[in-house]
Amino acid sequence: MSRMARWTPMLFAVALALAGVAAIHSAGGGSDGRALGAFARSQVVWLAIAIPAGVAVARIPFGWLERHAGLVYGLALCSLVGLFAVGDLANGARSWYRFGPVRVQPAEAAKLALLLALARACAHRGGPGALSGQALWRAGLVTAPCFLLIAAQPDLGTAAVLVPPAIAVALVAGAPLGPLVLAAVLGAGAASAFALGGGLEPHQIERLETFLDPDLDPLGKGFQAIQAKLAIGGGGVFGQGFGQGSQTQLGFLPDRHTDFIFAVITEEWGLVGGAVILLGYLALVLAALAVAWRARDGSARLFAVGVAALLGTQVLVNAGMTMGLVPVTGVTLPFLSYGGSSLVTSFALLGLLVSAAAHRPIRLDAIGLPDPHVAPPPRRDRARGLRLR
Amino acid sequence: MTPRATSQLSSPSGVAAAKPRASVDHRGRGEGDLLRVARRRVLLLALSSVAVTLVLVGRLAWLTVVEGERLTARADRARLSVEVERAPRGRIVDRRGRVLAQDRPTEHLAVMIGDLDRGPDVTSRVARWVREPRAAVEARWDAIAATAARDPDGPPLALWTAPSAASRRMFARLVAAEPGLLLDGDDLLCERDLLLQPGRVLANLAWIAGLDLERAARTVTQARARALAIENRLDRQQALATPVRLREHVPFDVACAVLEEAPFLPGVVVQRDATRHYPLGTVAGHVVGYQGPLSPEEARALRSAGKLLNAFDGGKDLDGALRAREGGAFLDDRVGRQGIERAYEVPLAGEVGVRLVERDRQTGAWTRRAEVPTASGVDVTLWLDAALQEEVEGILDEAVEQVGALGGAIVLLDARSGAVYAMASSPRYDPGRLGQDFPQLAIDPRRPLVHRAVAAALPPGSTVKAVTALGAIERAVPWGVGPVTLASEVYCRGYLHSWKRFKCNAVHHQVGLEAALAQSCNIYFYRAGEGLGEAGLTYAFDLFGLGRPTGVDLPGESAGLIGSGAWKRERAERAEVAARVARARADAAAAAIAGDGHAEEAATLASRAARAEERAKTLRADAPWRKGDSRNAAIGQGTLAATPLQVARVACALQNGGALVEPRLAQPLGGERLGPPTWLDLDPEVLAAARRGMRQAVTSARGTARRSILEKRGSLEREALAYFLAHAFAKTGTAEAPPKGSHAWMLAFTDTDAEAGLPPLGIAVVLEHVAHGVHGGDGAGPPAVRALFAARRHLGGEGAP
């Protein structure tokens, strides 16, 4: 991959982040005149930190990071464990560390570490016989501690976002489809048994109920979902105009600069603006997948797949909840939502992606060993080749 | 893609092809296979991400395009509110701008029960420690406070259950700090006393405004309990958002003090309102009238017509509110019930303003988006002169007292236009004090609530004699050998046939029209009435506007009565029905009593029935129209009844050459001129003769007016008397008021007084049920003299319309 082409995802992300700054400015500039653009200013500052951070991370050789993935992941897990002791309680969950005025969400960094660990754990190494059958349980084993720690905060939404990347990584790592589907079914069954068995916190049950019928309590728990839908509906095709969204500007939309930034965008910029943003994310995901396609090293490929899956899942969950397709959770829209931790982590993620794209494994064939990254010759028997089992 | 990258991507296949498989996995898959599988699955992921994007964009399009309108409407509904504002009511002023009725601002203290703090500040702390919205804890507090209000002596009530050990520790701390709180396991309990304690805000308000704190707290708790008992959630919220009045009509300085402290009194509102103020008190009380609340029937009618404005207050239906602008009212509106307040209700009320406001959910600020401003009520200017009115009322009251009458009325009209310069009725009431005085006024036997000038239909007596004469001459009724003419005379020997019936007030000998009017000779008019008969009399009286409302701009006007054969028959039938009903009742009572107790009541009923039967018998016998009826009606007795206003209008018609004016109290609102009077097409010569006769009543030595007024000259100002004798035309009247007693009448008019700049005036004075021995001239004459002179002083130089 060319030196420039590697940076494509980063460019998409910067474009999205700038759109996000504009939307946050508009969302923060309510009619009260107070704190006009304060969030947007802060976001610009974070962006000024996050982009160089991403670029800096891109300089780290992927191979070196991969070698230390276990250590990184271990540190991340420690930080998650530490939350239970000294975490800051907000909205009924301990998800934050507070350092004076700055609040840091370790779950964001943990995502990054998890992707690295997944890539390392599931990548083909040594004998090929070790690979595909093990990918699934390896992925599961690596993800489980992180998932459980985040789910116990409790932040089930963020934890759930980790599942699709793990599955995607296992998939691309060559996990057999049968057990994968079986694992998915079992997982879903276990989740619903957990939910029905009273494992959910009351507020989580309420969220689910209000997702099923937001009008159950339009001024209480269903308020966000309804107001977000109303904001989107009010946008029409071309939107109400920048800084003109009535739901946004009059403060009817809760958490509008964080979780519900997508509603702000669609209310003010309409279907066109919303679609452009969604296509921007699609481009970002496809660019990450392109890195995966071209990667010459198993772990780099799996890491790229993990990045693509994580970003895609976050967008699906966030935009989906804004539009009433999935229950309301605290999952933010990467690059767009206000929030320093998320921004820095997301850019760092892309930095790693750049690094992974640039990763050149030692040419095994050059030293006389078989190179697993070299595609085999086209087979005569196409039908057999296409069979996965 | 650079060429190098492309080659890297494409070339390895060739290389790999050349190589032997280094290794295979347990299924025999080589590493090359693995890469292919991986790439295929990456492609699968790419395709699924495209699919997900399509789903998201599709959902977005669905929401924005297909559902856009519905969602926008719903958002608008939540954000926009319709406010309806009352229009200030117009004033009522006299011709010189003196205010008779006006709105005066007043302030009420109210609290928004949903926003007011509850008892000691427990709810916010509990909310913080259990991590629930404060509103949820407040709702629970309200609910148990309502229980406590119903039964203040019960055991403590549970406010909240601690969800965790941490919050339980916090509860324990709270219990230690706040007496009245208890901890039972994980449950935080509240003593009922604590629940009923007024909040800090209420206590402060009570201190500032001097309220009874205990009562205010009770009011608030009860209102909250009522609101919380409402099942429907939206209605409940509406009820909680409705201000509850703690004190009405607070002094202005108290309202100011509360407003100054407003930032520290969240939930307290000062409501601005207006009360009707009548600065002149009883002056023109009947004319001005009063306001009253909507009756339940009216409210129901308004509601079913969609015109009840309360429904739109804070409501959402803009179109409905705009539709209700015309003819709509608030449930607590006061509307005109009597007098000008009622007659001019619509222009006085104006039109409510309708505003569409947008709410900022964060700051709670409201912004106006669209507005139909209030149309203030129009000021109604009367022709009345308040000073003249006051003086005339004084004159009337004095006269009523002097002659021991039940009541009386004076109506003073502009003879050309019908403009009412004074309209006094005695006894009177003060519309501003009606609230306090009403119970007493309602049972007063003199019936002060009746506006006698327009609502009292009394036999007009001799004041209608001119009408009879004019009708007879115009119809040329038979008179001896030929038809009656101006020159026709009659011989008066003091009675018609016998002394018993149809007598005259004196022996007038030979009298013509002029002398008959001047001396009020009954014989002449008996003759005229005989000639006219039932139809002729009805024609003549109707011509001068008797027996039908004048169309004056006041409610409750009586039509008066012109008796006829048909009317007499009807009256007899009614009496018969009444007698039968009375008899049936008496019989039932007689059958019901077993002896004691009710015997007295049965006897009363029986005697009542007997009386009713007697009356029915008399009336049945009297049912056909007889000659005697014609004679009686001709001199304004018997079956004829007229209001003072109708009589004053007759005076005007005699003055202005035969035009029937439409009396008007209020000056035209739009500045248009008064409508033209109805010309009666009378023979000017006959009219002139009648005028001469009425002038002679004042000037000639035997004139009834002159004689009786001079008798009373001691009580009259010299100038008034001189003015009257020099200018007035008059006709006295003494109407028998069965079963005994009489009404004293005086009809008079003056021509244009160029010297004093006075328009022609018509006046009617009546004293109802005067003492025995008082006649029209000596009873009603002096007040007429004084009122005309007062009019000269107050209206002189006016020119008037």
Instruction: Give the model confidence (pLDDT) of B647-665 as tens digits.
Output: 999 999 999 888 899 899 9
User: What are the helix and strand counts (H, E) for chain B?
Assistant: 30, 26
SS3 B110: strand
**Amino acid present at B530:** E
- Who contacts A308 (Cβ-Cβ below 8 Å, separation ≥6)? A168, A285, A286, A288, A289, A292, B45, B49
Interface contact A359, partner B, CB < 8 A: no
What is the pLDDT confidence band of residue B586, given thresholds at 50, 70 and 90?
Answer: confident
Please report the ipTM that was assigned to this predicted complex. 0.87
Chain B residues lying within 8 Å of A246, measured CB to CB: 75-76, 79, 358
Interface contact A238, partner B, CB < 8 A: no
Chain A residues lying within 8 Å of B46, measured CB to CB: 285-286, 289
- Who contacts A120 (Cβ-Cβ below 8 Å, separation ≥6)? A66, A69, A70, A299
- CB within 8 Å: A301 and B16: no
What is the pLDDT confidence band of residue A197, given thresholds at 50, 70 and 90?
Answer: low
Instruction: Give me the pLDDT at residue B222, please.
Output: 83
pLDDT in tens, A4-36: 788 989 999 999 999 988 888 887 654 344 444
SS3 B758: strand
By CB neighbour count within 10 A (0-12 exposed, 13-18 middle, 19+ buried), where does A245 fall?
A: buried
pLDDT of B5 higher than 50: no
pLDDT in tens, A64-78: 888 888 999 999 999
Torsion sign (Cα): B86, B92, B97, B100: negative
Instruction: Give me the pLDDT at residue B233, please.
Output: 64
By CB neighbour count within 10 A (0-12 exposed, 13-18 middle, 19+ buried), where does B155 fall?
A: exposed
pLDDT of B435 higher than 90: no
CB B89 within 8 A of CB B350: yes
From first CA to last CA, the distance across chain A in angstroms is 31
pLDDT of A81 higher than 80: yes
CB B763 within 8 A of CB B787: yes
pLDDT of B451 higher than 90: yes
pLDDT of A213 higher than 80: no
What is the C-alpha to C-alpha distance for residues A304 and A314, in angstroms, rounded to an integer? 15
Per the listing, tokens 């008190």 go with B281
Portion 180-209 of B in contact with A at CB < 8 A = none
What is the pLDDT confidence band of residue B763, given thresholds at 50, 70 and 90?
Answer: very high
What is the C-alpha to C-alpha distance for residues A38 and A21, in angstroms, rounded to an integer? 11
CB B652 within 8 A of CB B463: no
pLDDT of A215 higher than 80: no
- CB within 8 Å: A124 and B31: yes
Q: Say which residue, A221 or B273, is predicted with more confidence.
A: B273
Q: Please state the length of chain B.
A: 801
Residues B629, B631, B635: CA angle, nearest 5 degrees: 110
pLDDT in tens, A327-378: 888 788 999 988 888 899 899 999 999 998 888 766 555 566 555 555 455 5
Instruction: Give me the pLDDT at residue A319, please.
Output: 92
What is the pLDDT confidence band of residue A145, given thresholds at 50, 70 and 90?
Answer: very high
What is the pLDDT confidence band of residue B597, given thresholds at 50, 70 and 90?
Answer: low
Which residues does residue B353 pair with via DSSP β-bridges, in sequence order?
B85
pLDDT of B249 higher than 90: no
Per the listing, tokens 């000037």 go with B699
pLDDT of B601 higher than 60: yes
B540: left (phi over 0), alpha (psi -120 to 50) or beta: alpha
CB A65 within 8 A of CB A119: no
Of A234, A294, A370, the CB nearest to B75: A234
Instruction: Give me the pLDDT at residue B156, please.
Output: 85
Per the listing, tokens 């509860």 go with B171
Q: How far is CA B94 from CA A233, A243, B666, in A?
A: 60, 57, 9
CB B101 within 8 A of CB B278: yes
Listed in order, strand segments (DSSP E) in B390-529 are: 407-414, 420-426, 478-479, 482-483, 490-492, 509-511
CB A225 within 8 A of CB A206: no
pLDDT in tens, B145-177: 878 877 878 888 888 888 777 788 888 888 888
Q: What is the mean pLDDT of residues B761-766?
A: 94
Interface contact A196, partner B, CB < 8 A: no
Interface contact B673, partner A, CB < 8 A: no
Chain A residues lying within 8 Å of B358, measured CB to CB: 246, 250
Interface contact B68, partner A, CB < 8 A: yes
Disruptive mutation site among B15, B56, B367 for chain A (greatest number of A CBs within 10 Å): B56
Per the listing, tokens 């498989």 go with B21
What is the C-alpha to C-alpha distance for residues A31 and A35, in angstroms, rounded to an integer? 10
pLDDT of A224 higher than 70: yes
**Amino acid present at B43:** L
Instruction: Give me the pLDDT at residue A214, please.
Output: 59
Q: How far is CA A213 from CA A209, A221, B237, in A?
A: 6, 10, 21
What is the C-alpha to C-alpha distance for residues B358 and B369, in angstroms, rounded to an integer? 7
What Rg, from alpha-carbon coordinates, does chain A have?
A: 22
Interface contact A232, partner B, CB < 8 A: yes
What is the C-alpha to C-alpha distance for residues A228 and B745, in angstroms, rounded to an integer? 82
Largest Cα–Cα separation, chain A: 71
CB A180 within 8 A of CB A136: yes
Q: How far is CA B344 from CA A336, B265, B294, B781, in A?
A: 65, 42, 16, 34
Q: What is the mean pLDDT of residues B368-395?
A: 89
- CB within 8 Å: A325 and B59: yes
Q: What is the DSSP letter of A196?
A: I
What is the pLDDT confidence band of residue B53, given thresholds at 50, 70 and 90?
Answer: very high
What is the C-alpha to C-alpha distance for residues B320 and A203, in angstroms, rounded to an integer? 41
- CB within 8 Å: B36 and A127: no
Interface contact B363, partner A, CB < 8 A: yes
Lowest mean pLDDT among B193-207, B677-691, B763-777: B193-207
Chain A residues lying within 8 Å of B31, measured CB to CB: 124, 128, 370-374, 376
Of B12, B21, B78, the CB nearest to A375: B12
Largest Cα–Cα separation, chain B: 163
Q: Say which residue, B565 or B29, is predicted with more confidence.
A: B565
Instruction: Give me the pLDDT at residue B731, please.
Output: 92
Which residues does residue B334 pair with via DSSP β-bridges, in sequence order?
B293
Instruction: Give me the pLDDT at residue B3, please.
Output: 40
Q: Say which residue, B310 or B286, is predicted with more confidence.
A: B286
Chain B residues lying within 8 Å of A5, measured CB to CB: 1-2, 5
Of all residues in chain B, what percent carry a pLDDT higher than 90?
26
B5 to chain A: nearest residue by CA?
Answer: A1
Q: What is the mean pLDDT of residues A261-283?
A: 91
CB A91 within 8 A of CB A124: no
B358 to chain A: nearest residue by CA?
Answer: A250
CB atoms within 10 A of CB B373: 12
Interface contact A145, partner B, CB < 8 A: no
What global pTM score does this model have?
0.66
pLDDT of A190 higher than 80: yes
CB A257 within 8 A of CB A20: no
- Tell me the shortest Cα–Cα distance from A84 to chain B, in angstroms: 14
- CB within 8 Å: A271 and B36: no
What is the C-alpha to C-alpha distance for residues B779 and B771, in angstroms, rounded to an integer? 9
Query: What phi and psi values does residue B357 have, to the nearest 5 degrees?
Result: -120, 150
Chain A residues lying within 8 Å of B61, measured CB to CB: 271, 275
- CB within 8 Å: B64 and A282: no
Q: Are strands B92-93 and B380-381 parallel, antiparallel or unpaired?
A: parallel
A217 to chain B: nearest residue by CA?
Answer: B233
**Amino acid present at B252:** F
B546: left (phi over 0), alpha (psi -120 to 50) or beta: beta
What is the C-alpha to C-alpha distance for residues A347 and A340, in angstroms, rounded to an integer? 11
Q: Please state the length of chain A.
A: 389
What is the pLDDT confidence band of residue A114, given thresholds at 50, 70 and 90?
Answer: very high
- CB within 8 Å: B2 and A2: yes
**Amino acid present at B649:** R
pLDDT of A210 higher than 80: no
Helix%, strand%, coil% for chain A, nearest 5 = 70, 5, 30
- CB within 8 Å: A172 and B42: yes
pLDDT of B361 higher than 70: no
pLDDT of A249 higher than 80: no
- Tell me the shortest Cα–Cα distance from B103 to chain A, in angstroms: 37
